[in-house]
């Protein structure tokens, strides 16, 4: 697997290169200290994956990313500062075609940089193994064999959505398409640090027809609302009375590999809303969601997954699909169409 490292910090270039080269299957084929040089090397070297800093001289990372995705589409991991500005820039990068991002704490970068090694390696390995055709815009995907399910208004008490790598652009396709007449609340668990999930909630609130809020502990689950789980914490649904629920935001289970954990969300939904739960598992690395989907499926909940051809990384959807837990495997547009059916009658 061939990787290009682009960063204006000599320390970060060296650190990222050393972390990547700790895996004998990864070869760092080049390094660049600004976006312009990185773009030129991307065209020349044709790497499998690029790590790309955002703030750089001559050409910043977002500009370089635009050029790369237009002229030599490549899997890109943005290296972002763990700040509000860094979170906004990272979300912009994901919309422009970056596959994922790596957050670094600039205040303690020399102390904590090696702490991101496993996260960096996991993302680079997964993206390097992903089929390159998914990067090409306008690619004609094979038709999805499942029919698009339709539902009736009031059929579900909650819609739970889990996503990871590649998830934010899909969320920006699905959630803004939901009509204002959809009353079913939506809870989203997207793997991200808290400052990034807060920025994502703010942006989605501007583009969605339904209010989008950053979930908090003991916040009631209300109709006509989309809740974004805070990064770094797990979110659980908890029944408080007849047709009443709240969200618990905490560190449980402590052994959860990802936070917010899709497993934790779906397992709690199995107990709180049971068969009246609609779950959607989107693109992402690993199998988060599989263990939570098992009890949800057993109790009669409905589960959809994102189709393989449209995933940046077909890990999480693959796990629930191969376990035969899903009703259908759909493109993001078809998922949106399916969720919209919950509001059609009300709109009429």
Using CA atoms, how far apart are residues 300 and 157, in angstroms rounded to an integer?
13
Among 8, 48, 157, 191, the active-site one is 191
Among 288, 297, 307, 329, the active-site one is 288
Residues 6+ apart with CB under 8 A from 44: none
**Cα 157 to Cα 73, 152, 261, 270, distances in angstroms:** 41, 12, 20, 12
**Cα 346 to Cα 152, 230, 287, 340, distances in angstroms:** 9, 31, 36, 11
Structure tokens at 186: 């939506």
Does the annotation count 164 as an active-site position? yes
Does the annotation count 268 as an active-site position? no
Residues 6+ apart with CB under 8 A from 61: 6, 35, 52, 53, 54, 55, 78, 89, 93
CB 282 within 8 A of CB 159: no
Q: Is residue 104 classed as helix, strand or coil in its secondary structure?
A: strand
Does the annotation count 157 as an active-site position? no
Among 80, 81, 164, 338, the active-site one is 164
DSSP 125-179: HHHHHS-GGGGSTT--PPPPSSPPP---TTS-SEEEEEE-TTHHHHHHHHGGGS-
DSSP label of 27:
E
Residues 6+ apart with CB under 8 A from 14: none
CB 296 within 8 A of CB 303: yes
Residues 6+ apart with CB under 8 A from 145: 329
CB 16 within 8 A of CB 120: yes
Q: Which residues are catalytic?
A: 164, 191, 288
């Amino acid at each position: 697997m061939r990787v290009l490292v682009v960063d204006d910090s000599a320390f970060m270039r060296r650190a990222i290169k050393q972390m990547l080269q700790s895996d004998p299957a990864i070869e760092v084929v080049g390094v660049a200290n600004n976006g312009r040089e990185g773009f030129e090397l991307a065209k020349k070297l044709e790497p499998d994956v690029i790590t790309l800093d955002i703030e750089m001289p001559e050409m910043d990372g977002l500009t370089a990313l635009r050029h790369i995705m237009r002229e030599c589409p490549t899997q890109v991991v943005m290296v972002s500062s763990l700040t509000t500005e860094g979170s906004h820039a990272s979300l912009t990068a994901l919309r422009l075609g970056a596959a994922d991002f790596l957050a670094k704490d600039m205040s303690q970068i020399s102390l904590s940089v090696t702490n991101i090694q496993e996260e960096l390696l996991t993302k680079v390995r997964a993206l390097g193994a992903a089929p390159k055709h998914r990067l090409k815009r306008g690619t004609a995907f094979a038709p999805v064999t499942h029919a698009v399910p339709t539902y009736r208004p009031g059929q579900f008490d909650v819609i739970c959505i889990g996503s990871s790598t590649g998830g934010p652009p899909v969320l920006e396709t699905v959630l803004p398409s939901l009509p204002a007449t959809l009353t079913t609340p939506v809870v989203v668990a997207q793997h991200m640090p808290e400052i990034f999930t807060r920025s994502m909630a703010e942006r989605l609130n501007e583009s969605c027809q339904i209010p989008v809020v950053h979930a908090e502990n003991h916040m009631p689950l209300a109709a006509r609302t989309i809740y974004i789980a805070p990064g770094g914490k797990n979110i659980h649904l908890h029944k408080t009375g007849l047709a009443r629920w709240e969200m618990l935001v905490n560190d449980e289970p402590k052994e959860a590999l990802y936070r917010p954990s899709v497993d934790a969300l779906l397992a709690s939904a199995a107990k709180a809303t049971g068969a009246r739960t609609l779950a959607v598992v989107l693109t992402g690395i690993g199998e988060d969601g599989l263990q939570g989907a098992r009890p949800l499926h057993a109790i009669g909940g409905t589960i959809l997954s994102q189709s393989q051809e449209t995933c940046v990384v077909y890990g999480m959807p693959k796990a629930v699909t191969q376990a035969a837990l899903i009703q259908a495997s759909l493109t993001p547009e078809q998922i949106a169409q399916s969720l919209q059916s919950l509001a059609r009658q009300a709109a009429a």
